[in-house]
């Protein structure tokens, strides 16, 4: 009978051990007062944990103000004139002041000052009128400190119309001087 009770005791202990091994609660290992130094493990490849690459800060190459679509230098590049006139009007003065101050502070930037005329009049007359308009704009830009070496005044006469109509509104768009900056 002692044999049977020992078998029963061993069976219940085995069951307890098996149930304990299946337990979902981790069992902490017993604390050891002085643990022996761990044995050297054979060399293995170091474990590599995946790392998320952080993007390097993007350095913005400074965009020239006259190329920036949000900048007034890019938007307002034309000065308009009255019929058969080459006197810069007050609204043109404001535009030229903006460009003049920019160009004076950026001496390496060069522009073409392009004079234009409407379709009325002969080709020679319109070329001369376009040149007078371009020269008038150059004089105003010089007041703001733009050097002669930064500007080239040319005339297209009636050869580069902005508007193609034959009415006064279209002609008014063609009586202008355009400030042509480099594309880079």
- Euclidean distance between CA atoms 45 and 159, whole angstroms: 75
pTM (2 decimals)? 0.66
What span, in angstroms and rounded, lies between the C-alpha atoms of 117 and 177?
9
* Per-residue tens of pLDDT for the chain, all 184 residues: 454 455 454 555 545 454 455 445 555 555 545 555 555 555 555 555 555 555 545 445 678 999 999 999 999 999 999 999 999 999 999 999 999 999 999 999 999 999 999 999 999 999 999 999 999 999 999 999 999 999 999 999 999 999 998 999 999 999 999 999 998 7
Contact assessment for residue 134 and residue 142, using Cβ atoms and an 8 Å cutoff: no
Supply the pLDDT for residue 11: 52
Fold entry, domain 76-180: 60s Ribosomal Protein L30; Chain: A; (3.30.1330)
At 35, list the tokens.
């643990």
pLDDT of residue 14: 47
Who contacts 80 (Cβ-Cβ below 8 Å, separation ≥6)?
89, 91, 92, 172, 173, 175, 176
- pLDDT value at position 7? 44
| Cα distance between residue 85 and residue 150, in whole Å | 25
Query: Quick check: 137 and 143 in contact, CB under 8 A?
Result: no
Pairing state of beta strands 111-116 and 176-180? antiparallel
Q: 123-143 and 90-105 helices cross at what angle (nearest 10)?
A: 60
């Amino acid at each position: 009978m002692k044999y049977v009770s020992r078998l029963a005791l061993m069976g219940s202990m085995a069951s307890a051990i098996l149930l304990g091994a299946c337990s979902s609660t981790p069992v902490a290992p017993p604390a050891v007062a002085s643990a022996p130094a761990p044995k050297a493990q054979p060399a293995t490849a170091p474990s590599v944990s995946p790392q998320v690459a952080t993007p390097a800060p993007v350095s913005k190459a400074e965009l020239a103000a006259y190329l920036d679509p949000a900048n007034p230098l890019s938007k307002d590049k034309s000065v308009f004139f009255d019929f058969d006139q080459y006197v810069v009007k007050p609204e043109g003065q404001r535009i030229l002041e903006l460009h003049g101050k920019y160009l004076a502070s950026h001496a390496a930037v060069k522009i073409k000052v392009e004079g234009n005329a409407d379709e009325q009049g002969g080709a020679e007359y319109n070329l001369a009128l376009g040149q007078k308009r371009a020269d008038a704009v150059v004089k105003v830009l010089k007041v703001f400190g733009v050097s002669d070496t930064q500007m080239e005044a040319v005339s297209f006469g009636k050869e580069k119309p902005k508007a193609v109509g034959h009415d006064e509104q279209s002609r008014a768009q063609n009586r202008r001087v355009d400030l042509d900056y480099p594309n880079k």
